[in-house]
Amino acid sequence: MSHNQPQRAKKSLGQHFLHDQHAISQIAKALPLGVSAIEIGPGPGAITESLLQRVDKLCVIEMDDQFATRWQQIALENDKLSVIHGDVMQELEVAVATVQPEWIAGNLPYNLSGPLTAK
């Protein structure tokens, strides 16, 4: 999957796609090699692709049907990757209990960052 494909952000989901390669690299490098992680809202995968090169296990939580389907297809061929298709506000606690990640990453929409951090 390439994040170079133009995708239109859905404002109703608070989507905004990260394109700054320096920022993407800095986020990915913040995670030590070989850890397990959860990524919130991978979207087209700008950060996800970099994370998959660093981690042993990555679980992505994606609400958007189109992106969730794409990540589910990729997960069939990549045993490092698992996908939860749903709203992170409902799915995060179960994901953390199941995956037991060492890290949680993501390019969070502003409207989600406050409530998610509080949760």
Cβ–Cβ under 8 Å, residues 106 and 40 = yes
Q: Is residue 57 part of a domain?
A: yes
CATH code for the domain of 33: 3.40.50.150
Q: Using CA atoms of 30, 32, 34, 36 in order, give the dihedral in degrees to the nearest 10.
A: -60
pTM of this structure: 0.80
Give how many domains the chain has, as a whole number: 1
Q: What is the pLDDT of residue 17?
A: 54
- pLDDT, residue 109, reads 64
pLDDT by position in tens, the chain (length 119): 444 444 554 544 444 555 678 877 888 899 999 999 999 989 888 899 999 999 999 999 999 999 999 999 999 999 999 999 999 999 999 999 999 999 999 877 656 667 777 76
3-state secondary structure of 107: coil
Residue 45 within any structural domain of the chain: yes
On whether residue 52 sits in a domain, the answer given is: yes
Give the other-Cβ count within 10 Å of 18's Cβ. 15
Residue 112 sits in which domain range?
18-118
What's the pLDDT at 83? 98
Quote the pLDDT of residue 6: 45
